[in-house]
Structure 1
Amino acid sequence: MRTTRNIISAILLASTCLAGAQDDKVKKPNLLFILVDDFGAMDVGYAGSKLYATPNIDSLAKDGMNFKNAYSAHPRCLPSRYGIFSGRIPGRDGVPGFQDQSTSKNALIPSRVTWGEVLKDAGYSTGYIGKWHLCKDETGTPDKQGFTDSRIAGHAGAPASYFYPYDEARQGKSKELFPKIEGKPGEYLTDRLTDEAIDFIEKNKAKPFALVLAHYAVHTPIEAKPEMTDKYKNKLKDMGVLIGDGKKDADFKTVGHGAFKTVQNHPVYAAMIESVDKGIGEIRGKLKELGLDENTIIVLSSDHGGLSTRSIENNREVATSNLPYRNGKGWLYEGGTRVPMLVVWPGVVKPGSVTTTQTIGIDHYPSFVEMCGAKVPDGVEIDGKSYVDVLLGKQVDRGPIYWHSPLGRPHSTGDHAASSLIDGDWKILQFHVTGKWELYNLKTDPGELKDLSTAESETFERMKKQLLATQDNLGVKFRFGEYKGKGKGKNK
């Protein structure tokens, strides 16, 4: 670690010289973390999507490093975000969102030190814009967790509508209370968040800042600008692909208790992605205009895999296909946990570089702290591992990755309670209610089509023992039950 910190210090000193600083102080890099909700690993042009247009996200891949084996901390929104900002395996802490909240209304309890607090104490201006989803009241909002400037953030996992007023559903009733904010009729939420991010950057351009732009998009409700939607309808026609609506599409296939999409053909969802991508381009343009682009680290990722599955019992609108990865949001198969991840760090990360090193959402915590020249405070226990060495071009074995999802939602996204562990090329899954186990080799079978638990009995027994030992070490809790009803429950 000391060697790596020396390298980081040298980089920071070099950036100071490049910036023409007149004193001997190290110029700290800015940090912009863009977190797109429900954004699948295959929902981007650089990954091969033929429908989704993401030129600005693709430019991040061109200018930085693409993590091909990046994973979320959990296949659902709330616990995944808990892992990102606490740096802890959600299963260690009862899987926030599924746990007994009798002692605290907030999933991210006030005593848990976030990386926002660490960077704030290190002299950064910290901001949080968009989806937080980790609190029940004002005692747990981002400004109470180290992000001083908090905007349009609260408990809601989604807006009632993406068009202003955002707290009023365009169709049906609102499930959650979205914060009431001032806006203009017809204003689009994704654009509003982009504008807020640009405003924050302009106001904090004179000192180092750490900003989280947490888009509510591309989470449901699936709503987009009509003119963009029409463009993708025409694109699908030109591609010779049947236009879908995510409800009655012919490409759905059944798997177990669920059904999953196999074709990316939802024009409204494609338009939602374009709005996110367009905003990223505008923000990068502003950074360049202000002369901040060469000293700003940009990290883009998602909280979990794309929404591609649903229960066979309902007609829930589904957004995308994660193929070749299996299933999607809510599941511990690859489609539910794999996410896009790009890191741009001018002068440090080799442009256009690609890494196969595995990483998980909890790893952002120590990485962000290290990138910004700070350190995790004594007494703060995190599970994440820094990926800075990877950014510096080193070969790194991240080590085993573990997930625990104790309460399935078969009546919503079709998934069941499960745990899983990846160690190198091998992945094992444990299904809690049925007692079934599965084993896959991700190198030869990334789509998890061939269960090798019997054929590779020696590896299976080793992995099973390793997963059970991990559970004992973490003290994970099991819930032999599942949410009832169509999509009901505390967790998105």
Structure 2
Amino acid sequence: MCLSTRASRSPFQKQENEIRKIAFSPFPRPAPADMLSPMNRRHALRALAGAPFVLRAQPKRPPNVVLFLADDLGSADLGFRGAKDLRTPHIDRLAAEGVHFTQAYSNGPVCSPTRCALLTGQYQQRHGVDGVIYVGERTRGLSPDALLLPEVLKTRGYTSGLFGKWHLGYPKENFPTRQGFDEFIGHLAGNIDYFHHVDRQLNPDLWNREQLFKDPRYFTDLIAAEAASFVDRHRQRPFFLYVPFNAPHDPFQGPGDRPEKPFGEKRDRKTYASMIESMDTAVGRVMERIRAHNLDRDTAVFFLSDNGGVPAVASNAPFRGHKGSLWEGGIRTPLLARMPGAFPAGSAHSMPCAGMDLFATAAELAGASLPAGHRLDSVSLVPACRGGQAPPRESLFFHNQAPKQGPQRALLQNGWKYRREATGEDRLYHLAQDQSETRDLASTEPQRLQQLRATYEAWLRDVMPA
């Protein structure tokens, strides 16, 4: 993105001077070792968004970006992934009309870490979000100094809206509206009752920007309507629409299951399936508004889940494990990318990628710039989305720390996966030949195990320095 200053005196002289001290570079850019402080990055982007700079003429406005995020979705629990006991025609249509990344991962096996990586484009460990932010941790949240995707897109004129689950902090300084989102309707906690809209401690948790409000609608229907309305209101300018569903996270309540008391639920497969179908209807409702405004070919749409499903109701087949674990079943996710005319319909890519890669992908699609020195772990998937090959990623790292347990580790590299259990036991799998992780090769490949362990230790020192 090219910038030029106006010749006349500016009332924003202080902002202009700050920007002149920091060189901006087109996206993408190799990450240098020295990084700007988070506060400087944020100040620079705010100045860039508000200062009297002008963009050179662009051939067309940048594309809209829509990101649907399911919650605790089993990797096999969609029609196009083979589910026989539920229907997801709208998500299946995204798959048929777009690109399916068949080896995609969430950045963690639980909610908060995945969301942190997704919105920052960095491993969540860099921000101290290595596990769930629990409902009782009322003073904890993602640092306001973190640079989030909506802040980057704002420099290109985007309006950003979040409709759904935040789960990155409870204090006002951590609200989405303080971290780049222009609009927010949803909840802060890890889950809420779908009808009573309270969290596990029975705190009211339905927000419009920074104010609590009441609404009788089933939560999935509510955010579908609000997200569709966002498209209607902002169709004339580029927008970033982030729809992180609570579904199908517990409590297991279908749209017809209004309980008398909060968190009453039917913990069975049938109810879980009805929640997924409701989510699919919500996706269809938003997509209908995009088509109604002739924005179909000007909108990049992505769909994925924050982690694998829970064992009581979900299917993560053919993968081993479930939510909370670093087995493939805990971190593998469907990932779809759709943009008619730009992304080839019905295509597939087997390259390993992660949710955090959507940060770099969206920034490149928008033509956005990052502050010089800002380090991303994200890799843009735009070349792969367009039918080519994305830059190869040598490794993907995972780390999860649950309360009262040892840390879990995982590293993917060149078709191999190194895992350390919470008990401290090391394992090794050749995923290219054993995606279900049934043959532990740690004892027969000791040198490979040692090399991968050393690579992991070096990464851990980088993202979680002592």
Q: TM-score, normalised by structure 2?
A: 0.80
Which residue in the other structure is 2:205 paired with?
Answer: 178
Which residue in the other structure is 1:39 paired with?
Answer: 73
C-alpha contact 2:127 2:143 (8 A) present in aligned 1: no
SS at match of 1:376: strand
Q: Aligned AA for 1:475?
A: M
SS at match of 2:367: coil
SS at match of 1:438: strand
CA distance in 2, matches of 1:287, 1:319: 33
Which residue in the other structure is 2:220 paired with?
Answer: 190
C-alpha contact 2:102 2:348 (8 A) present in aligned 1: yes
1:28 maps onto 2:28 in alignment: no
CA distance in 2, matches of 1:224, 1:99: 25
Which residue in the other structure is 2:339 paired with?
Answer: 345
C-alpha contact 1:95 1:404 (8 A) present in aligned 2: no
Q: Which runs of 5+ in 1 are unaligned?
A: 6-22, 229-244, 247-264, 309-317, 411-415, 478-492
C-alpha contact 1:328 1:336 (8 A) present in aligned 2: yes
CA distance in 2, matches of 1:227, 1:221: 11
1:298 maps onto 2:298 in alignment: no
1:400 maps onto 2:395 in alignment: yes
Which residue in the other structure is 1:212 paired with?
Answer: 242
1:226 to partner: Cα distance = 3.7
1:292 to partner: Cα distance = 1.2
CA distance in 2, matches of 1:69, 1:137: 36
Larger displacement relative to structure 2 (292-301 or 373-382)? 373-382
Which residue in the other structure is 1:282 paired with?
Answer: 285
SS at match of 1:191: helix
Which residue in the other structure is 1:86 paired with?
Answer: 120
- The C-alpha deviation readout for 1:235-279, integer Å capped at 9, x for no partner, is xxxxxxxxxx65xxxxxxxxxxxxxxxxxx700000000000011
Which residue in the other structure is 1:158 paired with?
Answer: 191
Q: Which runs of 5+ in 2 are unaligned?
A: 1-24, 29-56, 207-211, 259-265
SS at match of 1:78: helix
1:92 to partner: Cα distance = 3.0
SS at match of 2:451: helix
- The C-alpha deviation readout for 1:134-168, integer Å capped at 9, x for no partner, is 11221111111111111124x21111x212x3228
Q: TM-score, normalised by structure 1?
A: 0.76
Q: 1:476 to 1:420 in 2, by over 3 A?
A: farther
Which residue in the other structure is 1:313 paired with?
Answer: none
Pairwise mapping of residues 384-463 of structure 1 onto structure 2 (< 5 A)? 384-396=378-390, 397-407=392-402, 417-432=407-422, 434-463=423-452
1:3 to partner: Cα distance = 11
Q: Aligned AA for 2:93?
A: S
1:167 maps onto 2:201 in alignment: no
SS at match of 1:134: coil
CA distance in 1, matches of 2:173, 2:281: 34
1:215 to partner: Cα distance = 0.8
Which residue in the other structure is 1:62 paired with?
Answer: 96
Pairwise mapping of residues 3-402 of structure 1 onto structure 2 (< 5 A)? 25-97=59-131, 105-153=139-187, 155-159=188-192, 161-163=193-195, 165-167=196-198, 174=201, 177-179=204-206, 180-184=212-216, 187-226=217-256, 246=267, 266-308=269-311, 318-396=312-390, 397-402=392-397
Q: 1:400 to 1:406 in 2, by over 3 A?
A: same
Q: Aligned AA for 2:100?
A: N
Q: Aligned AA for 1:47?
A: R
1:227 to partner: Cα distance = 8.7
C-alpha contact 1:198 1:283 (8 A) present in aligned 2: yes
Q: 1:461 to 1:176 in 2, by over 3 A?
A: farther
CA distance in 1, matches of 2:338, 2:177: 27
C-alpha contact 2:155 2:368 (8 A) present in aligned 1: no
SS at match of 1:328: coil
1:174 to partner: Cα distance = 4.1
Name the Cα RMSD after superposition.
2.6
- The C-alpha deviation readout for 1:307-360, integer Å capped at 9, x for no partner, is 22xxxxxxxxx3312121111111011011111110001211100000001111
SS at match of 1:82: helix
Larger displacement relative to structure 2 (91-100 or 38-47)? 91-100
CA distance in 2, matches of 1:194, 1:441: 41
Q: Aligned AA for 1:391?
A: C
1:202 to partner: Cα distance = 0.5
The count of aligned residue pairs is 399
C-alpha contact 1:4 1:389 (8 A) present in aligned 2: no
CA distance in 2, matches of 1:166, 1:417: 33
- The C-alpha deviation readout for 1:379-426, integer Å capped at 9, x for no partner, is 43221111111112223422200011123577xxxxx63111000210
CA distance in 1, matches of 2:227, 2:155: 21
CA distance in 2, matches of 1:158, 1:106: 16
CA distance in 1, matches of 2:293, 2:464: 49
C-alpha contact 1:96 1:107 (8 A) present in aligned 2: no
C-alpha contact 2:133 2:140 (8 A) present in aligned 1: no
CA distance in 2, matches of 1:26, 1:349: 18
Q: Aligned AA for 1:287?
A: I
Q: Aligned AA for 2:289?
A: K
C-alpha contact 1:126 1:211 (8 A) present in aligned 2: yes
Pairwise mapping of residues 464-475 of structure 1 onto structure 2 (< 5 A)? 464-475=453-464
- Structure 1 stretches of 4+ moved >6 Å: 2-5
C-alpha contact 1:39 1:304 (8 A) present in aligned 2: yes
Q: 1:105 to 1:3 in 2, by over 3 A?
A: closer
C-alpha contact 1:35 1:303 (8 A) present in aligned 2: yes
